[in-house]
């Protein structure tokens, strides 16, 4: 299997991994899998419920197991959760099983995009901006470690981001050239 047959999207919550991923999957002739949605389907519970009952450590263990399962195959666009890069084994798997795009979004953009989203356990606090700044600082080196390409989603809706990213991928990732 060619690891580059998978397109993997990493980045912070609110960067557009799922929305942009849906559009890219269609353009690339691949299917979209969302890591958090697959964890929820497998567990029969929401991410919030998993955090409540198993804590973050329990969720991260499920995340690692599901990531390994999904990346056994090929031909997918995988929208990861923002924290999937926390584990060194996950980072190695991401690098080894796909072309990884870091979708970047500033904290200000994240706050705007997530203003009415109450499904994020790590943001279930009044100091959301501080949390997002802390997460951005802690995770930035790990996103950089795994990324084959960084794409800033600033000022772009999902359609425009997918179109611009697809054009970049056509130059950098052999898979899209075969299907575009």
- 95 appears as a binding residue in the annotation: no
Question: Per-residue DSSP letters for the chain?
Answer: --GGGSEEEE--TTS-HHHHHHHHHHHHT-EEEEHHHHHHHHHTS-HHHHHHHHHHHHHHHHHHHHHHHHTTS-SEEEE--TTGGGSHHHHHHHHHHSEEEEEE--HHHHHHHTTT----GGG-SS-HHHHHHHHHHHHHHHHHHH-SEEEE-TT--HHHHHHHHHHHHHHH-HHHHHH-
- 120 appears as a binding residue in the annotation: yes
- 36 appears as a binding residue in the annotation: yes
- 17 appears as a binding residue in the annotation: yes
- 80 appears as a binding residue in the annotation: no
- 81 appears as a binding residue in the annotation: no
- 60 appears as a binding residue in the annotation: yes
- 82 appears as a binding residue in the annotation: yes
- 14 appears as a binding residue in the annotation: yes
As annotated, the binding site for ATP includes 14-19, 120
As annotated, the binding site for substrate includes 36, 60, 82, 139
As annotated, the binding site for Mg(2+) includes 18
As annotated, the binding site includes 14-19, 36, 60, 82, 120, 139
């Amino acid at each position: 299997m060619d690891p580059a047959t998978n397109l993997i999207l990493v980045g912070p919550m609110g960067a557009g991994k799922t929305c942009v991923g849906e559009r890219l999957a269609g353009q690339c002739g691949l299917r979209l899998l969302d890591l958090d949605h697959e964890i929820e389907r497998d567990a029969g519970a929401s991410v919030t419920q998993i955090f409540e009952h198993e804590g973050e450590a329990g969720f991260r263990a499920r995340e690692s197991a599901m990531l390994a399962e999904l990346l056994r195959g090929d031909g997918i666009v995988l929208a990861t959760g923002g924290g999937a890069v926390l584990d060194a084994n996950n980072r190695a798997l991401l690098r080894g099983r796909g072309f990884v795009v870091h979708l970047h979004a500033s904290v200000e953009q994240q706050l705007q995009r997530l203003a009415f989203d109450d499904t994020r356990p790590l943001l279930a606090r009044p100091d959301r901006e501080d949390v997002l700044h802390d997460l951005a600082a802690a995770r930035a080196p790990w996103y950089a470690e795994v990324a084959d390409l960084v794409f800033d989603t600033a000022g772009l809706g999902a359609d425009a981001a997918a179109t611009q990213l697809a054009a970049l991928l056509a130059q950098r990732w052999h898979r899209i050239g075969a299907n575009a």
